Amino acid sequence: MANVKENKKKETSGIVQNYLIAYNALQTIGWSFLLYQLITYYLASNNQKSLYETVKYTVIIFQNAAILEVVHAFLKLVSSNPIVTVQQISSRVIVVCGVLMITDSSRESLGLPLALFAWSVTEVIRYGNYTMNLLGHVPYIVKWLRYSTFIFLYPIGVTGELLCLYSAQLEIRKTGLLTIQMPNSLNFIFNYQHFLIIVMMMYIPFFPQLYLHMFTLRRKVLGGQQPVKKLS
């Protein structure tokens, strides 16, 4: 009986391992393609589409696929802190789904290329590191990039996100998009511009916390302490 349970546990563990390898490999490929789209867009001299129109399907698919990381953390498929994972993923999902997909001004903002550059480089390295870790070998250069490039990529990404959010809330102030005014049958009021302003304000406490968290992980992984098997 014990052998049967042990075999089932090993089988389940193997399925989870293969799933995580496939997930992280696909994310690596997806974000690599987005980085390729971004580079070729700015190298081309006669773009027929805007930057957002060029990358929209890629960024929507692969950024929203990151929501699965929250699921992985809560199901304990990985050792990542679920709360930290939610903090890391939620702001980007809001920017993509709640800003870029519905407002023109955010798509024309300088924040878009800044965010896309920081996101894509970060994720190619991060998911690549995870994939290699699951396969059993991570070259030191990949590990170093994973825990070093965030030093300048995080501030660039946050700047891009905030610029997109700022542009979007200015547009929503004029259009009233997704805003519910009184009176209505539900006796409910919601101001989407105010919601985006609150989201922007949340960066004040959360960004320093996440940034310092990454420095802590960097010391653990690159500073000679016991390596962390799976990190956010």
Average pLDDT over residues 133-147: 95
Average pLDDT over residues 125-135: 97
Annotated active-site residue 154? The verdict is yes
In a domain, 130, yes or no: yes
CA distance 144 to 125: 10
Q: Is 64 exposed, middle or buried (0-12, 13-18, 19+ CB in 10 A)?
A: middle
In a domain, 178, yes or no: yes
Peptide linkage before 183 cis (omega within 30 of 0): yes
Question: Which of 8-22, 28-42, 138-152, 173-187 has the lowest average pLDDT?
Answer: 8-22
Annotated active-site residue 161? The verdict is yes
In sequence order, which residues have a C-beta less than 8 Å from that of residue 61 and are 6 or more positions away? 30
Residue 133's pLDDT is 95
Look up the domain containing 37 and give its range: 2-222
In a domain, 231, yes or no: no
Residue 228's pLDDT is 45
pLDDT tens digits, residue range 188-218? 899 999 999 999 999 999 999 999 999 999 9
How does the average pLDDT of the chain come out, rounded?
Answer: 91
Say which of 19, 154, 166, 203 is annotated catalytic.
154
Number of domains comprising the chain: 1
Chain-centroid distance, C-alpha 231? 14
Confidence band (pLDDT; 50, 70, 90) for 187?
confident
In a domain, 102, yes or no: yes
In a domain, 75, yes or no: yes
Looking at the chain, the whole-number percentage of residues with pLDDT higher than 90 is 80
CB-CB contact of 171 with 100 (8 Å): no
